[in-house]
Structure 1
Amino acid sequence: MMLKIWGLRLLETLDLSGISKCSISLEIVDAPRLSHLVMPMSTRLPDWVGKVKSLRTLRGFILPMDSLEGIIGLGELTALSDLKFYFPNRCTGLSKAAWMTALSTSLDKLGNLKQLRVDSFEHVALQADALSSLSPPFRNLELLDLQYGCTFSRVPRWMGHLHNLRELFIGVKQVLQEDVAFIGTWMPSLILSLRIPGVLTERIVIGGSTGFPVLRWFLFDCDGVSFLTFEAGAMPALRELELALDADQWDKAAPAGLQHLPSLETITTWRECYTSKQKAAGSALIMSVFQEAADTLPTRPKFNLCTKVRRRPTEED
C-alpha cells in the first residue's frame, strides 16, 4: 500500500503502528511540523527520511538491506529523542562492514537521544561488534535496549559515558568480572537486563564493591544460572529478580547468595519455550528449585513461574 502525505503543514503526529500484515510505502511531502512518526515494524526505512528534520520520535522502521541512503539520512535527524528500528536478518547487495559503518556514523550524530531501541525483524540477533567503536554523544540517554536486536562479544566501553541511563537491555556473549564492575560502577541503572547466549566460562560475582546501588529490577537471561553469585552488599535496592532459561539447557540450580539481597520481593522464572509440550516439561523441577530457594530467604520473596511464550533470538551465523 502506497501512503502519500501531502501538504499537511500542521501535522505533528502520524502513528500507524496499529496496522498489521500490510506492507506500506510511505511518502511525506511538505509536513514541516511532523515530530512523531510511528510505523508498523515491516515498513522499510525510506531513503528520504533525512529530509524530515523536525522528527523527534521515529519508531517501527526496518533498516533496508540493499541501500545506505536511508541509514545515512538518520544522521540528519539531530532533533530525535526517541528512536526505535529493526535490524534485517541479513544484508543483501551490501557488505555488512559498509552497512554497519553507515549506521555507526549516523548514530554518532544523534546527540539528543533519550531512548534508543534496536530489535530484530525475524528473531535473528546481529553480531554488532562494529558498533563497539561508537563514540556516542547522547549523554542524556535514559533507555538503551539492544537486547534482542544484536549481540556484542563484550560490553562496549562507550556505555560508560551514559551516566543518565535508567534502563539497560543488552546481549553479550562473554561477561567477565571486570565487565560486571564496569556496568555497576558507571551506569546507575534502575533496570538491567542481561542476555548471555552460549556457555559461561567463569562466575559472575556481584558484590558490594561492584556497584548497582540503586538497581531495582534485574533480568538474567542465561541457562548457567548457578554461575550468578551475589555477595554481601550486592544490589541493596533490588526488588525484582527475573531469570530466563531453557529447561533443557538449564544447569538445574538457583543463583548463589540470594540471602544477600536485602530488599528482594519477587523472583520470577521465564521459560524459553515454543510449544505447550515444552511448557509442561521441566516445570515441576523449576518450581521445586526456586520455590525452595525463595522459602529459605529472610525476605521471603514471592516466586512466580511464567509460562508465557518467550523466544530468544537466534544468533547470526
Structure 2
Amino acid sequence: GRLFNNQETDRRGVKHLLEEMAKSNLQSLLLDNYLHHLLDLLIASWAKKRPQYLRKFELRIPGCLPLVPPDIGSLIALTHLHIHVEAVEPQPVHALGCLPNLVVLRLELSTDPTLTVCGTDGFQCLKVFWYGGGGNGIGLRFEVGAMPQLRRLRLDLDAREAMLNYGHLQFGIQHLPCLVHVHAIIQCKDASAGTEVDGMEAFIRDQVSLNPNDPVLEINTRVQRSVAKAAEGAVIAIHNRE
C-alpha cells in the first residue's frame, strides 16, 4: 500500500493492517518509506511482539527526525532499521541497542555529534552498522565491549572536517572483535580536494590496521552534489509462510 497523508481513514487502515500482520505467519516484512507520523501505530501494534515465523523485519523511515524515538526500543521484532535523525543522544541510542534481534542498522545524521558506543549500550546481535550521512561520521567512538558481533562497518566521512580534527580522531576500531570489513565513504566538496582526501585515506588505513582481524578495507571518494529527491510513497512488502 502507499500512504501520502495523515488522514484518519489512512490511520485506521494502517492500524488494521499492522494488527493483522502481527498475528500472521509472515516470514519477512519490509516497511519502506514508513512515515514517521505513523510510528505510534506501529509501536502500538507491535510493541514487545514477534510473530512466530518472522525472520526478517525491516523498517525504513524517510525524512529526518529530531531524535531517535525512544519508544522504538519496544519493537523487539526489528532486524533491520534505516533511520535519519538531526542528532543522537545517549538514551535513545541505548534504546536501539536494546533491540534483541537487530542485525543491520543504518543511522544517518544531519549534524556532527560525538557518539561513543560502549559494552553497556547493547547491540549484542548487530552485524552491520552504517553510520554518518553526508560525511557526518567522524564523531563515532567504540569502547571495549561495544557491538561484540559487528562484522561490517560503513562510515561516511567529510574529508575537510575530518582533517581539521585529525589529531583528535580515534574510532576505536580495534575494540570490535568480529570486524571483517570496513567501507569508508570520503565526501569532498569538489574534485580538487586531493590532499585532504589522501590524508583521510591514510588516517583510515592506520585506524583499520589497529584491528587484529586485519579487516578488508574499501574506500570510495564522493564529490558532494545537491540533488533534489522526488517524494516517494510508503511501501509494505510481505512474504507469507508457505
**Common topology (TM > 0.5):** yes
CA shift, 1:162, in A, is 1.6
Query: Alpha carbons of 1:106 and 1:136: their partners in 2 closer, same or farther (altered >3 Å)?
Result: farther
Distance (Å, rounded) in 1 between the aligned partners of 2:192 and 2:124: 37
| 2:99 is the counterpart of 1:193 | no
Amino acid at match of 2:120: S
Aligned with 1:282 (options 182, 191, 196): 196
| Contact residue 183 and residue 218 of structure 2 kept, 8 A | yes
Amino acid at match of 1:188: N
Query: Alpha carbons of 1:287 and 1:199: their partners in 2 closer, same or farther (altered >3 Å)?
Result: closer
Distance (Å, rounded) in 2 between the aligned partners of 1:279 and 1:232: 35
List gaps (5 residues or longer) in structure 2. Answer: 23-28, 51-55, 230-242
Query: Alpha carbons of 1:278 and 1:239: their partners in 2 closer, same or farther (altered >3 Å)?
Result: farther
Query: Alpha carbons of 1:293 and 1:168: their partners in 2 closer, same or farther (altered >3 Å)?
Result: same
Please list, as runs of the form range in 1=range in 2, the aligned pairs for 1:82-161 lying within 5 A after superposition.
99-100=5-6, 102=8, 104-111=11-18, 112=21, 114-118=29-33, 130-131=37-38, 133-134=40-41, 135-138=43-46, 139-140=49-50, 142-146=57-61, 149-161=62-74
- The equivalent residue for 2:172 is 257
Distance (Å, rounded) in 2 between the aligned partners of 1:249 and 1:100: 39
TM-score (norm 1): 0.56
- The equivalent residue for 1:237 is 149
Distance (Å, rounded) in 2 between the aligned partners of 1:145 and 1:278: 35
CA shift, 1:227, in A, is 2.3
Distance (Å, rounded) in 2 between the aligned partners of 1:311 and 1:133: 34
Amino acid at match of 1:175: V
- The equivalent residue for 2:185 is 270
Query: Alpha carbons of 1:306 and 1:106: their partners in 2 closer, same or farther (altered >3 Å)?
Result: farther
Distance (Å, rounded) in 2 between the aligned partners of 1:230 and 1:286: 19
SS of 2:124's partner is: coil
- Write the deviation string for residues 12-70 of structure 1: whole angstroms up to 9, x where unpaired: xxxxxxxxxxxxxxxxxxxxxxxxxxxxxxxxxxxxxxxxxxxxxx5xx6x55xxxxxx
What percentage of residue pairs aligned between the two structures are identical? 24
CA shift, 1:175, in A, is 1.0
Query: Alpha carbons of 1:281 and 1:169: their partners in 2 closer, same or farther (altered >3 Å)?
Result: farther
| 2:80 is the counterpart of 1:174 | no
Query: Alpha carbons of 1:191 and 1:313: their partners in 2 closer, same or farther (altered >3 Å)?
Result: farther
- The equivalent residue for 1:183 is 96
CA shift, 1:115, in A, is 1.1
Distance (Å, rounded) in 2 between the aligned partners of 1:313 and 1:171: 17
SS of 1:108's partner is: helix
SS of 1:182's partner is: helix
SS of 1:263's partner is: coil
Query: Alpha carbons of 1:108 and 1:153: their partners in 2 closer, same or farther (altered >3 Å)?
Result: farther
- Write the deviation string for residues 251-296 of structure 1: whole angstroms up to 9, x where unpaired: 6555532211111111111134697x26857331221110011122
SS of 2:6's partner is: helix
| 2:76 is the counterpart of 1:163 | yes
SS of 1:152's partner is: coil
Aligned with 1:213 (options 124, 146, 157): 124
CA shift, 1:249, in A, is 4.1
CA shift, 1:244, in A, is 1.4
Query: Alpha carbons of 1:299 and 1:311: their partners in 2 closer, same or farther (altered >3 Å)?
Result: farther
Higher alpha-carbon Rg:
1
Aligned with 1:303 (options 211, 214, 217): 217
Query: Alpha carbons of 1:151 and 1:273: their partners in 2 closer, same or farther (altered >3 Å)?
Result: same
Distance (Å, rounded) in 2 between the aligned partners of 1:290 and 1:298: 15
| Contact residue 271 and residue 279 of structure 1 kept, 8 A | no
SS of 1:303's partner is: strand
Distance (Å, rounded) in 2 between the aligned partners of 1:229 and 1:271: 18
Query: Alpha carbons of 1:166 and 1:284: their partners in 2 closer, same or farther (altered >3 Å)?
Result: same
Q: What is the number of residues matched between the two proteins? A: 208
